Chain A
Amino acid sequence: MRYDILSGIRVVELGSAWAGPFAARLLGDLGAEVIKVEAPRRPDFVRFSVYLDDDPGEQPWERGAHYQKFSRNKKSCIIDVQAERGRELFLRVLSISDVFIENNTPRVRQQLGLTDELLREVAPNLVCISMPGFGSSGPYRDYLAYGLTIEGFAGLSSVTGYGDGTPPTRSAVPYGDPVAAVYGAIAALSGLLARRRHGRAPHVELSQHESLITMLPDLFLRAQLDGVDPQPQGNRDGIIYDPQGVYACAGDDEWIAVSAASDEDRAALAWLLGLEPNAGASELDRALEQWAAARRRDDAVELLQAAGVPAGPVLSPREMMDHEQVRARAMYEEVSHPLYRALPYARMPLRFTRAESSGDTHAPLFGEHNRYVFGELLGLSDEEIRQFYEQNVTADKPDMA
């Protein structure tokens, strides 16, 4: 589902992988016109990741699921920004846009010659969101960053693990990317609001590394409060949620997550387990372990929720997509595609009342909107556009050579 909230706003994305493209897609989900720019010889590499039906087909760049998921509600325009004429063309696109999002390293941005000064000159009203992994200064500025490595740099990996002496564990998803992506969309929106109020479009530097650190304030407070570093402790918390854990149930590989955040929750849990209302967290935890082991997962969750205890089944991705709450709220919606069958993708997790909405548009084919951008938006002639193709400034398919 795509809302119309940002209709009239044009966003240019010069991104790759996840953080930048996801930030831009969130703005597309909100109704902005998002133009994803790729170079003929440097298509976003996630186009070639996780092929539908494991089949790269004749046009593998159109079959990567990652690209399909994170580039819906966008348009595709191919420009070789490193070529002189391509750079001129790209700057013209920026000059008629409202937001520019990129997640390149400072080194790449420098190679492209996209300095703040130049951008302010050619597009003074452009809100610029630069999302390098480690920011544009400091010893790590040119380090390559993937979400997983950012987790380690930020401290998240050091507290994710079983706490039994086994090594730290990577997360279910590489958090560095999606956290930065949402911050990127927030920076764009707050920049547009500031531009409207103050008449000045901001240039924002958003370090993916620092973004993730802002999500972990409790770690740093505890390290200073206790004088020792927080350690992995499995699913326990012991500070806000107590007891909290994941408990094995009677069925094969069946688990439930249970979390008590208040005295009310603990009293409800004690009642269900047949303990005194003031039973301690450790006693509750031990009793819950035995109680869960004697029940099937979904039965246990029903009993816990009926008693007023926060609890849920541990679901696989397939089970999650089929869960009654996910289905009831249509969290996954099918998006049609011109080259293959319609497939479901997760909606943006925001629902707005009093806003118009329409169906999602599929991730664009490579260069699908070249003529729209060059002709309709920039007013170039067919002959000029033909020359761009001839000079390899643009293309309708990647230059795989």
Chain B
Amino acid sequence: MTYALDGIRVVELGDSLSVAFAGRLLRGLGAEVTTARQAPVFGSHPAAITLQRYLDSGKRTAPSVDPTDADIWLDSRPIEQIRADRDRSERFQDEGGVHVAVTPFGLDGPWAERKGTGIVASALGGFLHLCGDENGPPLKNGGYILEFQGGLFAVLGALAGVFKSQAGRGGTLVDVSLLESVIAFQERADFAWTHQGRDWRRTRRHEVAHPFTIFPCADGFVSIALGTARHWQHFCVLIDRPEWAEDMDLMLNRHARADEVDAALVPWLAERSVSEVVQRFQEMFIPCGPVLTASQVLADAHLLERRFFRSFVLGGQAFRVPGPPFRSDYAWALDEIEPPVEAAS
């Protein structure tokens, strides 16, 4: 097997979901990853322990690791420990090493020493304010996607650092902030303020487009994302309102006239199943999809045909887990997943 990151050695220090996720992705790309994590560090809940074992699968574990004996040092320890290790980090960088520090708010600034988690970064980063009902509390996404965002950027920084080092331009310290990882995912809300003076607030409907949200059908929910004029033209035909396609005012102001649109759309959807709606919208080249539960995703025909899921065995139970995000000429190293292997000390 040939892997994209053959020969790259990674060491993880610290107990964060971000770094555990980053280490797993690097392992999948073929790097050799060693983590100091052994005991459960994300709590004693069975789901937390299972998640940790999944994230650490394929990694070597060692009771004490020397991060400078690697190409990439992933570090999510508390900031005072990262700072106390500055000399070691500098020497590591002198020798071409890439030290990736993942912290809640970054290595400097007035909040650097404060404590944060995914939801806290999401609060500061403007995401919570933008998600939820108009009159309801701010809302976060389910799962740990916010923490894993930080892990994604940590991998991007690590690989950029290795590219730099291998080009003979020396090592580096990469400062990754969970807060800034959230901000980097902002799409329109920040420039709605800087370019138009609008400070957006959460709403079930999209801020500028319509219909562009989640709607109920007869047997579940669908997401409809009607973005372009062409989508609108097709939509009018689909829901038996061809006259709307000629109404330029409605097309251009359909967000302001959303109640009028929904008065026709909502009953139309209520009479149809999720699968029928998705099929008919997609046949008309309008982005639309079902709201699937976890078990429905695991049984999804598309993913099954693409053989996406992999097996992960823990405690005698075989779990189906997400496969690689890439299909490439280079192999994915986590195709045969097994629990962490203890490294020889």
Contacts and interface: CB of A to CB of B under 8 A. Distances in A.
Given A155-B292, A217-B54, A310-B120, 16 more contacts: A50-B192, A138-B305, A139-B301, A152-B222, A160-B141, A172-B122, A173-B185, A185-B156, A186-B152, A193-B5, A210-B306, A229-B294, A235-B140, A309-B115, A324-B109, A351-B174
15 contacts: A50-B191, A148-B225, A152-B290, A161-B139, A162-B132, A169-B132, A175-B141, A190-B330, A206-B325, A210-B323, A246-B140, A257-B122, A314-B123, A326-B183, A345-B190
- Chain B interface main SS type: mixed
A150 B153 contact: no
- Most chain B CB atoms below 10 A, which of A65, A153, A190, A265: A190
Given A310-B116, A321-B190, A323-B124, A246 B294 contact: no
Given A152-B221, A346-B183, A350-B174, A168 B214 contact: yes
A146 B51 contact: no
Given A50-B196, A210-B308, A235-B137, A153 B127 contact: no
Interface residues of A, number: 151
A331 B177 CA distance: 11
Most interface-central of B139, B224, B288 (chain A CB within 10 A): B139
B322 interface: yes
B183 A138 contact: no
Task: Give me the 5 closest cross-chain CB pairs, A-B, nearest first.
Answer: A159-B142, A349-B180, A149-B289, A146-B225, A257-B123
A192 B153 CA distance: 17
Given A204-B327, A217-B321, A169 B204 contact: yes
B218 interface: no
Contact of B171 (A183, A185, A230, A354): A354
B85 interface: no
Given A325-B111, A344-B194, A168 B133 contact: no
Contact of A158 (B208, B294, B327): B294
A348 B184 contact: yes
A318 interface: yes
B263 to A, nearest CB: 18
Interface string A1-43: 0010110000000000010000000100010000000000000
A137 B306 contact: yes
Nearest to B204: A169
B4 A190 contact: yes
Nearest to A349: B180
A312 B221 contact: no
